[in-house]
Amino acid sequence: MPESITVLVNGMPVQIQAGSIVSAALLKAGEPCRLSVTAEPRTALCGMGICFECRATVNGVRHRRTCQMICCDGMVVESDR
């Protein structure tokens, strides 16, 4: 059985398989990565770090491309709003 880790997404604990990317944790939590300037929810689109739709705050650092980051146990992820 794969190891499970906990990531905090907008204050909510999310159990996810070790080795998963941060945008997957956001999707599992049902949270967008960010809101557009017109308040539309955005999430990972290209999965390659090119489109920048997956940006969120990770461990206090804004505008991180979540489709390019591996989850770590205890990581704190916040949607950019």
Q: Where are the domains of the chain?
A: 4-79
Q: What is the mean pLDDT of residues 77-81?
A: 90
pTM: 0.91
Strand partners, 58: 61, 77
**Per-residue pLDDT at 80:** 86
Helix (H, G, I), strand (E, B) or coil at 29: helix
pLDDT tens digits, one per residue of 6-65: 999 999 999 999 999 999 999 999 999 999 999 999 999 998 999 999 999 999 999 999
Closest CA to 66 of 25, 19, 36: 25
Locate all alpha helices (DSSP H) within the chain, ordered by sequence.
22-29
Assign domain 4-79 to a CATH class. Answer: alpha beta
Neighbouring residues of 72: CB distance < 8 A, sequence distance ≥ 6: 5, 7
